[in-house]
Every structure is written in C-alpha cells, then in structure tokens.
C-alpha cells in the first residue's frame, strides 16, 4: 500500500471514517462519492474490548472532493524520485494529478506519454506513443521478460520487491541493442500493428525503466 498512490479512489476499497482503516473487497464496494456503504468497521480497539464500528465509506472521489493527502504525498514523492514517468491512458488534463509527471521532468527525469489522443503535456514528453495501453504494455512486458498475471480480482501484497528493479536493469542492458532500438529514433519500424510513435530527437533514447508512475484509470 505504501508503494501505490490511488489519487481518485479504488472501486474495491472502503474505509472507516473513524479510524481510517481500509478494507479491500473481492467485489466492487457499490457506492461512489465517499458515501456510506452500509457496513461497519470491525477493527478491534486497544485491549480487544470492542470493535471500532465506525461507518465505512467508498473511496471514489466526486468532482468537488479533494484528493487524499496520504496518496497525494506518496505520488509527489514518487514523481520527485523517479528517473522516468510513464503516463498510460490519460489526457493529463485534471489537476493536480495531471501535472505530477512534470515533477519528474523538472528534476531531470524523462517523461513517456502513452495515449491515443493528444494530451496536455505532449510537448514536454521525451517519447509519445499514440497507441492502446494494452498493446504497449504487452510488448513492454514481453521485452522485460515478465508475465502479465491473469486478473482474478484485487490482491493485497504485503510488500513490494525492491530487488526486482536491479534484475530488470540487468535484463534491459542485455536486450537494449535490438528490440528497444525503434524507440531511439533510428527509424526501425515497430513490429506492432499500427503502433505510432514520435521521437523528438535521437538524443532522447529510452531511459532504463527503474520506477514507473502508473495512474489509476479511475476518475
Ligand atoms: Zn474503524
């Protein structure tokens, strides 16, 4: 949870208005706009005497709701530390989330925008790919030698694996000669169907993928 910033909520999560405890459910929670879901918090209070019993509400923001502080701070920190921001399937028009990837840029990192239509920050991007996110990610995962896990429902993981990033970099080094070269302005046609991309200059080649900032698709 400390590696994921969900700025606009999550359909599968409900949280206690009293103690802030979040519950990840197997099915969608069923309401929107931070409304009560009808269930109560079951956190046991100190000494195990009785449960919190605070009202649970959904986490999906409505237009006038402000973004959750904790997640916004997390996202901000991640964008500051990242060498590379990748935005997937967003027009980047809504503030403040849409401007977060620009922080990476300002701090010397690179920005990759994947979206079918033009976005607000196209001019700031080192690489723009006008294609379906599924197509791009399928190819990227293949290139990285990673399997796309089948969706079976929300899964809560206890921790992320930091060692993974180093493994990935090793693999990227081995493979960067050929498959990634079409990102490098060398004019190699992309093997995909109708995958269009623009490279502003040959100097802005692919940065090693260390950290990705993935925006939730929920609004
Ligand atoms: Zn509670």
Q: To the nearest whole number, what is the mean pLDDT of the chain?
A: 80
Per the structure, the complete domain to which residue 132 belongs is given by 69-144
Average pLDDT for 107-128: 97
Rounded to the nearest whole angstrom, what is the distance from the C-alpha of residue 22 to the centroid of ligand 1? 9
Of 8, 121, 130, 183, the catalytic one is 8
Task: For residue 37, tell me if it sits in a domain.
Answer: yes
Pairing of strands 127-130, 110-114: parallel
Domain contains 183: no
User: Is the per-residue pLDDT at 210 higher than 70?
Assistant: no
| Residue that finishes a domain, picked among 144, 163, 198 | 144
Burial class (CB within 10 angstroms; exposed 0-12, middle 13-18, buried 19+) of 14: buried
Ligand 1 centroid to Cα of residue 2, in Å, is 19
Residue 135 confidence (pLDDT) above 80? yes
Closest CA to 210 of 185, 182, 173, 181: 173
What is the Cα–Cα distance from 105 to 103, expressed in whole angstroms?
A: 5
Q: DSSP readout, 157-197?
A: -S---THHHHHHHHHHHHHTTTGGGGGGTS-PPPSSSS-EE
Say which range, 6-15, 142-151, 201-210, has the weakest mean pLDDT: 201-210
Judge whether 207 lies within some domain: no
Q: What is the pLDDT of residues 95-111, one digit of tens each?
A: 999 999 999 999 999 99
Q: What is the pTM of this model?
A: 0.67
pLDDT of 43 over the 70 cut: yes
The answer to whether residues 116 and 53 belong to one domain is no
Q: What is the pLDDT of residue 183?
A: 40
Q: At residue 32, does pLDDT exceed 80?
A: yes
- DSSP H or E stretch at residue 134: helix 133-143
| 121 counts as catalytic | no
Query: Are 60 and 6 within 8 A, CB to CB?
Result: no
In a domain, 136, yes or no: yes
79 is in an annotated binding site: no
C-alpha 11 to ligand 1 mean position (Å): 19
Instruction: Tell whether residue 190 is among the known ligand binding residues.
Output: no
Note whether 76 and 131 are same-domain residues. yes
Cα radius of gyration rounded to whole Å, the chain: 20
Count of domains observed in the chain: 2
In the reported structure, the alpha carbon of residue 55 is separated from the centroid of ligand 1 by a whole-number distance in angstroms of 7
| Angle 102-111-101 from CA coordinates, rounded to 5° | 30
Q: Tell me, in angstroms, the distance from the centre of ligand 1 to residue 40's CA.
A: 8
On whether the CB atoms of residues 210 and 83 are closer than 8 A, the answer is yes
Higher pLDDT, 83 or 200: 83
Same domain, 103 and 83: yes
The pLDDT tens digits for 54-81 are: 999 999 999 899 999 999 999 999 999 9
* Residue 51 resides in a domain: yes
| End-to-end C-alpha distance for the chain, whole angstroms | 19
**Beta carbons within 8 Å of 8's beta carbon, 6+ residues apart:** 60, 61, 67, 97, 216, 218, 219
Q: Give the whole-angstrom CA distance, residue 111 versus residue 125.
A: 5
For the chain, give the percent of residues with pLDDT over 70.
71
């Amino acid at each position: 949870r400390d590696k994921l910033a969900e700025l606009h909520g999550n359909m599968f999560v409900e949280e206690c208005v009293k103690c802030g405890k979040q519950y990840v459910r197997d099915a969608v929670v069923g309401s929107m706009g931070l409304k009560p879901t009808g269930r109560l918090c079951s956190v046991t209070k100190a000494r195990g005497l009785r449960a919190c019993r605070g009202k649970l509400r959904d986490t999906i923001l409505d237009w006038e709701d402000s973004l959750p502080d904790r997640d916004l701070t997390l996202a901000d920190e991640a964008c500051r530390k990242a060498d590379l921001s990748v935005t997937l399937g967003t027009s980047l028009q809504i503030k403040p989330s849409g401007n977060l990837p620009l922080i990476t840029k300002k701090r010397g990192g690179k920005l990759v925008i994947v979206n079918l239509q033009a976005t607000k920050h196209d001019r700031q991007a080192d690489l723009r790919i006008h294609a379906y996110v599924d197509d791009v990610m399928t190819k990227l995962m293949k290139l990285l030698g990673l399997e796309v896990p089948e969706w079976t429902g929300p899964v809560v993981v206890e921790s992320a694996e930091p060692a993974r990033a180093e493994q990935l970099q090793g693999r990227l080094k081995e493979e960067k000669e050929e498959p990634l070269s079409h990102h490098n302005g060398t004019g190699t046609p992309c093997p995909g169907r109708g995958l269009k991309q623009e490279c502003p200059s040959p100097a802005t080649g692919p940065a090693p993928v260390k950290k990705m900032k993935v925006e939730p698709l929920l609004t």
